[in-house]
Amino acid sequence: MTAESRLIRCPSCGATNRVPTHKVEAGRQPVCGRCKTPLPVGAAGTTAPVTVSDATFAAEVERPALPVLVDAWAPCVGRAG
C-alpha cells in the first residue's frame, strides 16, 4: 500500500520534496531534503502560499503538473480619495 504524499517545492533552493501527508497531519514540520529549510505547509497539510519572483515564476507557476492559483496585487500608493 502506497502512502499518500504531496510534492512541495522548497522556497529556498527550489528542490522538489515528496512529503507524506500522514506525517504532516501528525503535526510534524517537513524540511527540505537538500537544504533543510522548513517547507511551506499550512493547516491540515495544505501547501502554504509561496512568494513568487521573476526568477522563480517559471518553476512555481508555469511548470507544476497541478493547477496553480496566482494572486497578483500591488499596494495602493498615492491614491487621493
pLDDT tens per residue, range 26-44:
888 899 999 999 988 765 5
Give the model's pLDDT for residue 30: 92
The pLDDT, as a whole number, for residue 1 is: 43
CB contact at 8 A, 62 and 70: no
Residue 11 lies in a domain: yes
- pLDDT attached to residue 67: 81
Which pLDDT score is estimated for 41?
Answer: 79
> What predicted TM-score, i.e. pTM, was given to this entire model?
0.56
Show the domain range for 29.
5-52
Domain-located, residue 62: no
Residue 24 placed within a domain: yes
Distance (Å, rounded) from C-alpha 3 to C-alpha 21?
8
Classify residue 19: in a domain, yes or no.
Answer: yes
